A = this chain, B = another copy of it.
Amino acid sequence: MANEVILLDFWPSMFGMRTRIALREKGVEFEYREEDLRNKSPLLLQMNPIHKKIPVLIHNGKPVCESTIQVQYIDEVWSHKNPILPSDPYQRAQARFWVDFIDKKMYDAQRKVWATKGDEQEAGKKEFIELLKVLEAELGDKPYFGGDDFGYVDIGLIGFYTWFHAYEKYGNFSIEAECPKLIAWAKKCLQRESVAKSLPESEKVTDFVTQLRDLYLAK
């Protein structure tokens, strides 16, 4: 059976970036379709009627929603190369734990860094830096989160890196000064073709964040 793979996505989405990377790690050809989130396509609404959110992976006409579920699905369907999750059940559980941690904590925390001001922003900045330090401690001196091989946690986190410059600009702090190992890790990830091809330029993300910030703070 031919594999028809379509990804409904939005370019600055750190969640969409996960799925792009996973597909490229596996060498899966896919059609990327940019969504206008203020005017969602009928296909998006049909394929993800519950959440109506990107990214949506459509494989031979059938939708898979939620980025972490997409990445696991991709790993299971295209299992012939570049395993994303470790094979050992305990290591798999640990990898899932850290991606779950990122999903539960990072998005809300990072948003406070650039979409708020005053005390709320200061508290958000503190919370965000603490989260990064937890992640840096978990990384330790390993090349990647899972050890020697690029994998699930790396894919789960690396998209946020494209937003780092915007956090630094609006939070007025240096992530490299706080978490040098995390920055070294991100640069290593970017040497992979799957990552480099899937991540937008930081400057472009920062311009996008600037527009969003103006919108939120004008409210």
Residues of A within 8 A of B (CB): 50, 59, 62, 64-66, 69-70, 72-73, 76-77, 89-90, 92-93, 96-97, 100-101, 134
CA distance A97 to B90 in the complex (A): 22
Contact status A62-B90, CB under 8 Å: yes
Q: Which residues of B contact A96 (CB under 8 A)?
A: 66, 69, 72
Contact status A50-B89, CB under 8 Å: no
Interface of A is mostly: helix
* With A50-B101, A50-B134, A134-B50 as contacts: A92 and B65 at CB distance below 8 Å: no
> Shortest Cβ distance from A103 into chain B, in angstroms?
10
Contact status B134-A66, CB under 8 Å: no
Cross-interface CB contact of A89 among B77, B100, B101, cutoff 8 Å: B77
Q: Which residues of B contact A76 (CB under 8 A)?
A: 89, 92
Please give 4 more A-B residue pairs, beta carbons under 8 A apart, in addition to A62-B90, A64-B90, A70-B93. Answer: A66-B96, A66-B100, A69-B96, A72-B93
